[in-house]
Amino acid sequence: MSARVEEVRLNLPHIELAARLYGPEDGHSVIALHGWLDNAASFARLAPRLPGLRIVALDFAGHGHSAHRPPGAGYAPWDNVQDVLQVADQLGWTRFSLLGHSMGAIVATLLAAALPERVERLALIDGLVPPTGEADGAVERLGDALKAQQALADKRKPVYEHVEQAVSARMRGTDTVSREAAELLAERGLMPVAGGYTWRSDARLTLPSPMRLTRAHSHAFIHGLRCPTRLVVAEQGIIARHESLMTALPSMPLEVHRLPGGHHLHLDDDAGADAVAACFRAFLRGEA
């Protein structure tokens, strides 16, 4: 399924972000947020299956065609929350819905809970809250993060002689994806360098988090949601492997749909994209 796609750049006060636009200008306003080390192509299959929506699929800072954050800056989830809010302001969207996958779903949840007056509806794909950590591990975590930051200058991103090698590497990533999904992500995520191709993404994105929210923090954001919320749980995805979160889902203020497929079910194949679209099509138009 194909659809007209427009490429845009958004000049925020502190950074320039890239995005893909789908759908009619008068459609329901939706900002789509991809996962960690992915890019706006994450929604290449799903967006055309969601008619009646004006979808702005962002490249997060440090991903895809967006700028990297300046030296000394980091990539905490709340930094992305602020970026999304400024994108909405630049677009003139006082109220809008959020469609998020994985890390993008986490960012969407944080924003929707923190500023409920801005977010109309929340559509989440196999993501909800960031990984948590408790106080007894905080000291060691910060130390490990500081050491990793100091060692970053000596690391080099992989260079692939051929695009196909990069596609194969992406297929074998932390969460495996189909070949077609890897090709879509690589098309937007690679850049030519001496000797072949490497990923555009900022190397700092792979650094460990210096601090994590506690489980109590995360649950506070979930229970702070005031907008209608639907969560797609992939049966072979990340949330399904998180036993304590799966146990807690029935008590949370959201509607859960379990679908077959892996973490990238909305991008892996047409069947997965169709199934996710069926969950969100009427919902994001405010019809369900």
Active site members: 102
The two three-digit tokens of residue 263, written as one number? 């973490």
Q: How far apart are the C-alpha atoms of 127 and 122, rounded to whole Å?
A: 12
Q: How far apart are the C-alpha atoms of 52 and 30, rounded to whole Å?
A: 10
Q: What does each C-alpha distance from 157 to 86, 132, 183, 255 come to in angstroms?
A: 30, 28, 19, 40
Strand partners, 232: 125, 257
Q: What does each C-alpha distance from 258 to 50, 243, 251, 265 come to in angstroms?
A: 19, 15, 16, 11
Strand partners, 119: 96
Q: How far apart are the C-alpha atoms of 288 and 51, rounded to whole Å?
A: 15
The residues near 275 (Cβ < 8 Å, ≥ 6 apart) are 259, 260, 261, 265
Total residues belonging to the chain? 288
Residue 174, φ and ψ in degrees, nearest 5: -50, -45
